Amino acid sequence: MGLLKRLFGASDRGTAPKLYDAIVAAGRAPHWYLQGEVPDTIDGRFDMIAAILSLVLLRLESDPQAIAPSTALAECFIDDMDGQLREIGIGDIVVGKHMGRMMGMVGGRLDAYRAGLAGDGLGPALVRNLYRGHPPTDAALAHVETHLLGLRDRLAALPTAAVLAGEVPQ
């Protein structure tokens, strides 16, 4: 596969794969699904990873030097989701439709989380996007919002180079 990528000019994604792996690992942390009551399903895991990916992308958009690495990170997400869809049996004919929908969902989450961070908090965006409209208990929502806001603050405190190197603080 590496030979094919070199022959067809696939771009070097630098440290983006390492950063994406750290995002996925953070999204798989059990506390999101236990204390946070995020549904432990394919959709729930996608939503949690998308939430963390959104926070990382929002952090990176604050630095003009991170534009290319942000694009590489998005490409890692696309590759992973494409593989996940194929693994669960989605065929070639409809993978593109699913990918388009998933990218739209991530874009919507970016906008919703950006607005929530600038306004009244993440709660409404989390209920809509992470819990897909089924409100969790107050304690679960508070757990997720508190931990995501803490992650946002820890990412903001890191130099961009550290984030790009794959540091996603837990």
102-121 per-position pLDDT tens digit: 777 788 899 999 999 999 89
Write down the pTM of the prediction.
0.84
Q: Which residues contact 157 (CB under 8 A, 6 or more apart)?
A: none
CA–CA dist 91, 1 (Å, integer): 21
For 68-86, what is the mean pLDDT?
A: 82
CA–CA dist 20, 57 (Å, integer): 11
What pLDDT is stored for residue 9 in this prediction?
Answer: 43
CA–CA dist 104, 85 (Å, integer): 16
Give the residue from 63, 76, 52 showing the smallest Cα distance to 147: 52
**For residue 38, with 0-12 CB atoms within 10 Å meaning exposed, 13-18 middle and 19 or more buried, which class applies?**
buried
170 pLDDT more than 80: no
What pLDDT is stored for residue 6 in this prediction?
Answer: 42
Cβ–Cβ < 8 Å for 36, 143: yes
Residue 21 has a CB neighbour count (10 Å cut-off) of 14
